[in-house]
Amino acid sequence: MAELITLEQARQRVRAAADTLVEFASVSLLDAVGHRLAEDHHAAGPWPATDRAAMDGYAVRAGGGGLAEGTRLRVVGACPAGQTFSGTVADGQCIRIMTGASVPAVVDAVVPVEATSGYVEVGGEVELRGTARRGANIRPAGSEVAAGQRVLRSGQRIGPAEVGALAALGVDPVPVFRRPVVAILATGDEVVPIDVEPTPWQVRNSNAYALAAQVTAAGGAPLLLGIAADTEEALRAKLTEGLERADVLLTIGGVSKGTHDLVHRLLEQLGVEKVFHGVRLKPGKPVFFGTQWRRGAGEITRLPARRFVFGLPGNPASTFTVFDLLVVPLLGQLAGACDVPEPLRARVGGLPFRQDVRLQAVPARLRTDGEGVLWADLGPSKPSGDPFGLLDATGYALVAPEHAPSADGTVEICPYGGGA
């Protein structure tokens, strides 16, 4: 393992190595959640398209002086949502109107039914139990979105709110960036499938499933390759499969200095060029990152020019942490993310923590107090091999080398998911 680099240096080298994934896809609106938009979307017209009633009640002519409490008005028509009213309304008259209905030009205010004597049939009279002012309870045309306004931007992650906006714009199918395919390979004779009862010297393949969930949450498409035994033949075959089938390959274990740590040497033999191997980070020190040029990639195939490989440490906390700190930003870049989240800082709370010569990613529960101040409550120190050590946290406090955080200081934080 070469000289260790800092986390920031590692992040910079990952960003520099990545090139934008230019392959696009078209998915149905119901399948769009988690993808990133491949183009901007603008409103064809104003929203709302006409003046709309914001309340159920009566549409009235308030005029410049308004209408006083106790005013009695004759109901001359009705305007339910989805229909229009084409008649006339004179002074002393009104129409019944429903929320969302288009407000006719012959009226200029809506009085909520709660501020009247109640609903009456057309032809009857209603009494105001409050005043009415021009423009009251009306959503003017274009007050929410102007014609031609950009509503969604390219690279934006699609969630439920974005799906609603796309539906309002009539976009289906949706042009998106293709999700990066992320192959996940566990290594080691001690690892067994999760449906197998392990012996005392074995562990279930929990890391691969945690990584698959992280990949999905980050907008990628996970591809589980199973488990490779600690032999060159078995490991080479699985690594070759991952490099052929995926945009990003994640290996678990086998990147340290042990006699059975074969991953980085075999990756080199398969044409993967090392970018770095080893980061001054706890946990996650042995992490490897490299790239492999694709044959025939580029403009003709519309694929990225490189594949990306992370050799992740085998301990659960190390694997989980390195993914959030280094892999999540790469996946965002490959999938067309339009912005990079600004680093967050938080006040330090919880238990005191021991300093270390490396940058520490300490599990922390992130919270906001009554004054809006963001806090990172540090948890007790736990070994990186503890598969349950991250359950009580929601992110990481990045504690600087040779630094013991105190309650009057602040630390940079990274939420689970890398802030994606």
Residue 217, in any domain of the structure: yes
Are 18 and 29 in the same domain?
no
Query: Is the peptide bond between 140 and the residue preceding it cis, with omega within 30 degrees of 0?
Result: no
Do 188 and 312 lie in a common domain? yes
pTM given for the model: 0.81
335 Cβ neighbours under 8 A, 6+ residues apart? 21, 35, 36, 177, 178, 179, 180, 219, 220
Least confident interval from 29-33, 182-186, 302-306, 329-333: 302-306
- Alpha-carbon distance of 16 to 21, in angstroms, equals 14
| In a shared domain, residues 183 and 277 | yes
Query: In which domain, by residue range, is 38 found?
Result: 24-45+153-177
The chain-wide mean pLDDT, for the chain, equals 90
Alpha-carbon distance of 263 to 256, in angstroms, equals 9
**pLDDT band at residue 386 using 50, 70 and 90 as cut-offs:** confident
- φ, ψ (nearest 5 deg) of residue 141: -55, 130
CATH number at residue 362: 2.40.340.10
Quick check: is 145 in a domain? no
For residue 336, CA distances in Å to 21, 185, 304 come to 7, 25, 12
Which DSSP symbol is given to 325?
I
**Co-location of 187 and 318 in the same domain:** yes
**Main-chain phi, psi angles of 201, to 5 degrees:** -105, 15
Instruction: State whether 208 and 305 are in the same domain.
Output: yes
189 and 171, same domain (yes or no)? no
Query: 270 and 230, same structural domain?
Result: yes
In-domain check, residue 391: yes
Residues 203 and 111 grouped into a single domain = no
Q: 91 and 201 share a domain?
A: no
Number of domains in the chain: 4
Residue linked to tokens 């398209």: 49
Residue 295, domain CATH:
3.40.980.10
Does 144 fall in a domain?
no
**CATH, residue 85:** 2.170.190.11
Summarised one tens digit per residue, pLDDT across range 75-95 is 999 999 999 999 999 999 999
Nearest to 347 by CA among 328, 327, 366: 366
69 and 33 fall within a common domain: no
Residue 363 lies in a domain: yes
Q: Is residue 339 part of a domain?
A: no
Instruction: Establish if 1 belongs to a structural domain.
Output: no
Q: Are residues 189 and 308 located together in one domain of the fold? A: yes
Do 408 and 313 lie in a common domain?
A: no
Give the SS3 label for residue 314: coil
Mean pLDDT of 284-310: 77
- Paired with 183 in beta bridges are 223, 249
Which of 284, 301, 334 lies at the terminal end of a domain, its last residue?
Answer: 334
Looking up residue 162, the CATH number of its domain turns out to be: 3.90.105.10
Domain boundary among 334, 355, 381: 334
pLDDT, tens digit (0-9, with 9 covering 90-100), for 199-256: 999 999 999 999 999 999 998 999 999 999 989 999 999 999 999 999 999 999 987 7
